[in-house]
A = this chain, B = another copy of it.
Amino acid sequence: MELHGKSILGGKTAASRGSRVFFGVAAATGEKLGPEFHEATAAEADEAMTLAENAFHEYAALGPERRAEFLERAAAEIAGLGGALLERAQAETALPEARLAGERARTVNQLNMFAQMIREGSWVEATIDRGAPERKPVAKPDLRRMLFPLGPVVVFGASNFPLAYSVAGGDTASALAAGCPVVVKGHWGHPGTSEMVARAIVAAAEATKMPAGIFSMAQGASNEIGERLVLHPAAKAAGFTGSLQGGRALYNAAATRPEPIPVFAEMGSTNPVFFLPGALKKNWAALAEAFVQSFTAGVGQFCTNPGIAIGREGEEWRAFIEQTARLAGAVAPGVMLHRGIYEKFRSGTGRFRQTRGVGVAGKWGGEAEGRAAAAVFTTDAKTFAGEGTLSEELFGPSTLAVSCGTAAELEAVARSLHGQLTASIHGTEEDLDRHKKLAGILREKAGRLIFNGFPTGVEVCAAMQHGGPYPATTDTRTTSVGYYAIKRFARPVCFQNFPEGALPAELRNRNSRNIWRVVDNEMTKADI
């Protein structure tokens, strides 16, 4: 595939009237990667949104089977891009090929999962209360409720998941599955990857005869174009994965619209890991090894990267920290996704080192030639409590070990944490008994609690919750990974006393879709 470097507006290549251009950059070398990419103009952004709005009715009306075919075809087209996609993604992001191959598999699986989900159909929450015309003093109406798509959704590609949370990632897949047209703002960090995937989606849309406006992708290196998309009246929601600063800016912009819309932003998280004494006693060396693997994998560029370790003063805790530092020191420094992320990591580690009461465990080489070296910082609970910046996310392969004197101090650290995507506890059953309050405190802080495991590795399935209290996300009631992600992009509509023929299939007396429905407060698949 020869890249054209232009935005894609409702299946067509943009005319590129804009004069702003930018290049993909090889993360490893800093060299420009061709071709020249044209930033979408304001008019092009508006056109994408208008096309999405115009396509919405038709797309929503197509029904789940047709949408499922489209999603499956999109999955196949992306898989069909073959090695060229991985090569381009690797050049743009410096992520290893094996990781990218895994990410592609996840991208394909997510599209297929949502296809399967809408084909099965129960996700629409069909709920029926039959009428009682004879009820006194007033007749009880017949009420039938189900979920319908919200409307056009703006999706922001994430730099750290150039496939699974970018152009055809979880946000796009769940929004398209719900019946919402999608306009993607491609991430400037991997514009070639974005174009390839966008064209695969367009090919799938054409092959399955979808309305053209259901998918667009606007390229751009500035923030303006994304904000313009979110502010367009046709936009009904936005999905974002990235920094707290970026997510909050979009949230703020959306909240000031004449018609405010939800921005589902997945942002910063330090993913604390609590190492309780019994677990360390049994297992400190193995835990150190697994922990280093978790916080240095992918050069620490996962949103579930464990940036804080908390333990109680003692021999094993010290041994654990020493071993962690030793193993981290042996991890080869890695190239980060792009220069900006690397610079942030560098200034962040510099800030840690200059903070009074924070030490560096083991020998830390710092950064060499633009590569990020894994770092283990240490501090105590008192310093941690007094220095707010220590609890902020530092994106990259570092972690901060916080030593606590007592169970109460450890609980106080837990209580002081911001909202998190995840929180982990390593412990024996006896440890849990001795720290009874800990799990309860963490349950109010995080979307996912992990026992004797590490947060990296996010299973895509029904029970997954990838979300959490602010600043982990802007809406803790939602998830961006797994089945429930589709609910973000749907709204309920209730039909009162509608004739059978005018009802959607899901709400008719005969349950032809064979879905689970709540009928007169009973869960059932039976016909009425």
The listed residue with most B CB atoms (<10 A of its CB), out of A129, A471, A493, A501, is: A493
In the assembled complex, the Cα of A464 lies from the Cα of B518 at a distance in Å of 12
Asked if A206 CB lies within 8 Å of chain B CBs, one says: no
- 0 or 1 for each of A441-465: is its CB under 8 Å from B? (1 = yes): 0011011111111000101011111
**Residues on B with beta carbons closer than 8 Å to the beta carbon of A144:** 463
User: What does DSSP make chain A's interface, helix, strand, loop or mixed?
Assistant: mixed
Q: Which residues of A contact B (CB under 8 A)?
A: 57, 61, 122, 125, 127-129, 138, 140-141, 143-145, 148, 150-151, 251-252, 255-256, 259-260, 262, 419, 429, 432, 439-440, 443-444, 446-453, 457, 459, 461-465, 467, 469-471, 474-477, 479, 483-484, 487-488, 490-499, 501-502, 516, 518, 521, 523
Say whether B493 contacts A128, CB under 8 Å.
no
Q: A150-B477, A252-B255, A523-B523 are known contacts. Are A463 and B499 too (CB-CB below 8 A)?
A: no
Chain B neighbourhood of A128, CB < 8 A: 463
Give the Cβ gap from A11 to chain B, nearest Cβ, in Å. 23
Asked if residues A465 and B451 are in contact (CB atoms below 8 Å), the reply is no
Are B150 and A447 neighbours in the complex by a CB distance under 8 Å? no
A451–B449 CA distance with the chains assembled, in angstroms:
47
Enumerate 22 A-B pairs (CB-CB under 8 Å) in ascending A order: A138-B457, A143-B463, A143-B464, A150-B477, A151-B444, A251-B255, A255-B260, A260-B474, A429-B501, A443-B493, A447-B492, A447-B493, A450-B497, A451-B495, A452-B497, A453-B496, A463-B518, A465-B494, A467-B492, A476-B491, A477-B487, A484-B492
The answer to whether B429 touches A461 (Cβ under 8 A) is no
Q: How many copies does the complex hold?
A: 2
Check B129–A459 contact: CB distance below 8 A.
Answer: yes
Q: A127-B463, A140-B459, A143-B461 are in contact. Are A496 and B450 (CB under 8 A)?
A: yes
In the assembly, what is the distance between CA of A138 and CA of B125, in Å?
33
Chain B positions within 8 Å of A429 at CB level: 499, 501
Contact, CB under 8 Å: B259 / A470: yes
Q: Which of A252, A491, A518, A521 has the largest count of B CB atoms less than 10 A from its CB?
A: A491
A256 CA / B314 CA spacing, docked (Å): 44
Given known A-B contacts A143-B464, A453-B141, A453-B497, A122 and B440 have beta carbons under 8 A apart: no
Task: Determine if B470 and A492 form an interchain contact, defined as CB atoms under 8 angstroms apart.
Answer: no
Whether B140 contacts A493 by the Cβ 8 Å rule is no
Q: How far is the CA of A490 from the CA of B483 in the complex (A)?
A: 18
Q: Considering the chains assembled together, what is the distance between the CA atoms of A262 and B484 in angstroms?
A: 19
Q: How far is the CA of A498 from the CA of B446 in the complex (A)?
A: 15
Please indicate the chain B residues that have their CB under 8 angstroms from the CB of A444 in the complex: 57, 148, 151
Write out the residue numbers on chain B whose beta carbons fall within 8 Å of the beta carbon of A125: 484
Q: With A61-B440, A463-B129 as given contacts, are A477 and B494 in contact (CB-CB < 8 Å)?
A: no
